[in-house]
Amino acid sequence: MSTDAGSKADYTFGQIAIRENICTFEQVKECLDIQAKLRTLGIEPKKLGEILIEKGYLSPEQAVAVAKAQTASTSAGSGKLNIPGYDLISKIGQGAMGTVLRPSSSPWTAWWPSRCSPPST
């Protein structure tokens, strides 16, 4: 994994840990700063989750939970929406209220429009 890809993965890991109220912003920032300092010294740092565990901010079980959430968000962020039991054939349209998709319920060939609303803020 390149350093840029590793940094992005660490930022995502930190965002999820904060969002799930597992770590504070300050704890994640402290550990990201440690990584940045090591990089300036030419040392490849450990992953953010490992540093958070070493500092006692995160348990190994919590790190696994965050990593699973990160994997799920990465696959969702690939542009593909995953709705269990359905194959999304195409996007019919998009507007302020959400996106209208053309799903198919395998093994049947019938399809119907389905609106997916954006997450509420």
pTM of the model: 0.58
Q: Nearest 10 degrees: CA dihedral of 47, 50, 52, 55?
A: -130
Strand partners, 114: 101
Per-10-residue mean pLDDT, the chain, length 121:
67 90 94 94 94 95 90 61 62 74 60 60 51
Q: How far apart are the C-alpha atoms of 7 and 61, rounded to whole Å? A: 22
SS3 116: strand
Beta-carbon contacts of 45 under 8 Å, excluding residues fewer than 6 positions away, are 34, 35, 38, 39, 51
Q: How far apart are the C-alpha atoms of 87 and 120, rounded to whole Å? A: 24
